[in-house]
Amino acid sequence: MKSVFFRYFVYSAVTVLLCLAILGFVALRAAYAVTEGELMARAFSRVFMMTAFWVLLIAFVTAYLSSRYMARPFRDMAACARSFERGDFSARVGRWDERDDEIGELAAAFNGMAESLERVEELRRSFIGGVSHELKTPMTTISGYIEGILDGTVPPERREETLVMVREEVLRLSRLVSGMMELSRHETQQMKVRSAPFDISETAARVLLGMEQKINQKGISVDVLVPEEPVIAKGDPDGITQVLTNLLDNAVKFCNPGGSVALTVAAKGGRARVTVKNTGAGIQPEDLPRVFERFYKGDRSRSLDPSGLGLGLYIVKSILNAHGEDIDIRSDTAATEFSFSLPLQ
Q: Is pLDDT of 8 > 50?
A: no
Q: Is pLDDT of 165 > 60?
A: yes
Please, which pLDDT band fits residue 209 given cuts at 50, 70 and 90?
Answer: confident
Angle, helix 312-322 to helix 237-254, in steps of 10 degrees: 150
pLDDT tens by residue, 73-92: 788 888 888 888 888 888 88
3-state SS, residue 268: strand
Residue 200 is predicted with a pLDDT of 92
Residue 133 is predicted with a pLDDT of 66
Please, which pLDDT band fits residue 302 given cuts at 50, 70 and 90?
Answer: very low
Domains of the chain in sequence order: 5-82 (no CATH), 102-187 (1.10.287.130), 196-343 (3.30.565.10)
The overall average pLDDT reported for the chain is 79
278 φψ region: left (φ > 0), alpha (ψ -120 to 50), beta (else): beta
Residue 234, beta-bridge partner list: 197
Cα–Cα dist 135/173, whole Å: 7
Amino acid at residue number 336 = T
Cα–Cα dist 181/317, whole Å: 17
Asked if residue 276 lies in contact with residue 337, where contact means CB atoms within 8 angstroms, the answer is: yes
Residue 300 is predicted with a pLDDT of 53
The residue among 14 and 68 whose pLDDT is bigger is 68
Residue 270 is predicted with a pLDDT of 92
> Residue 205's closest CA among 187, 223, 184, 182?
223
